[in-house]
């Protein structure tokens, strides 16, 4: 299985809502960075840290939150996923859609780092209460 296949498997698990499958190939000390300005901005360590601070929070705060990946670019130890986030914020009822790029770094067939790039203003506007 190539590194790009590992990332495709992560996205497929996400589509199924399979948390265990989403983190199956994460290193124990994976470093996961959500972009500054994103509602969950910060860096989280370890699979459980990512589940608790990112995946579960997205499910709690958003209805129908999805990432639809259009392309996975295989750069060997660096893989890039390109797609679109969308969802409706539960507290505000506002919908958003924003393009996204995920940069994945792998070593020894394990995800060791993730970094998100997206239009955080679109997401923040949907989550803001006026």
Residue-wise pLDDT tens digits, 18-71: 999 999 999 999 999 999 999 999 999 999 999 999 999 999 999 999 999 999
pLDDT computed for residue 53 by the predictor: 97
User: What is the C-alpha separation between 116 and 90, in angstroms, rounded?
Assistant: 22
Average pLDDT for 105-109: 98
Query: Is the pLDDT at 130 greater than 90, yes or no?
Result: no
pLDDT computed for residue 26 by the predictor: 98
User: What is the C-alpha separation between 116 and 54, in angstroms, rounded?
Assistant: 12
pLDDT computed for residue 129 by the predictor: 62
Please tell me the pTM assigned to this model: 0.94
User: What is the C-alpha separation between 102 and 87, in angstroms, rounded?
Assistant: 18
Give the full edge-to-edge strand order of the sheet including 95-107.
42-45, 26-34, 110-118, 95-107, 78-89, 62-75
Q: How many CA atoms lie within 13 A of 78 on its CB side?
A: 5
Residues in the chain: 130
Domain ranges of the chain: 3-127
pLDDT computed for residue 108 by the predictor: 98
User: What is the C-alpha separation between 112 and 130, in angstroms, rounded?
Assistant: 39
Cα 91 to chain centroid distance, Å, stands at: 21
**Quick check: helix, strand or coil at residue 1?**
coil
pLDDT computed for residue 38 by the predictor: 92
| CATH code at 3-127 | 3.10.450.50
């Amino acid at each position: 299985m190539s590194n790009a296949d590992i990332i495709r498997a992560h996205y497929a698990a996400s589509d199924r809502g399979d948390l265990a499958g989403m983190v199956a190939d994460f290193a124990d000390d994976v470093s996961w960075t959500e972009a500054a300005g994103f509602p969950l901005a910060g860096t989280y360590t370890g699979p459980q840290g990512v589940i608790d601070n990112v995946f579960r929070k997205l499910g709690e705060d958003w209805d129908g939150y999805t990432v639809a990946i259009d392309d996975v670019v295989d750069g060997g130890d660096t893989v890039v996923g390109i797609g679109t986030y969308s969802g409706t914020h539960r507290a505000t009822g506002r919908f958003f859609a924003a393009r996204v790029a995920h940069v994945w770094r792998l070593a020894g067939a394990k995800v060791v780092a993730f970094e998100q790039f997206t239009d955080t203003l679109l997401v923040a506007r949907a989550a803001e209460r006026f």
